[in-house]
Amino acid sequence: MAAIDDLVVSGLSQNQAQEIVNLQAGTSSAAALANAGFTQVQVTELIADKAGTSSPAKLTSAGFWAGTEVPTIDANLTV
């Protein structure tokens, strides 16, 4: 299954999943993530996860669901 499909199945919207894929590819921005519906705290943690300076616990604290969203996001953004 493609990364975007995994992200949607985990509970994210299609737009949010696409922006995470774009972030991994280096073509997204904080503004694009916010426009996709992520909060500022979530945007900060997504960018930090991509940079390798976040953790699953921090993603959960930012409001992502630990059950499916966090492991899927982390798997798609961790370098």
For residue 2, what pLDDT is reported? 77
CB count, 10 Å around CB of 8? Answer: 18
Using alpha carbons, select from 39, 36, 30 the residue that is nearest to residue 16: 36
At residue 46, the 3 state secondary structure works out as helix
Cα–Cα distance between 56 and 26 in angstroms, integer? 21
Phi then psi dihedrals of residue 65, to 5 deg: -75, 125
- What are the tens digits of pLDDT across the range 14-46? 999 999 999 999 999 999 999 999 999 999 999
How many percent of the chain have pLDDT more than 90? Answer: 95
- What pLDDT is recorded for position 79? 62
Q: Which of 79, 36, 44 is nearest to 61 (CA)?
A: 44
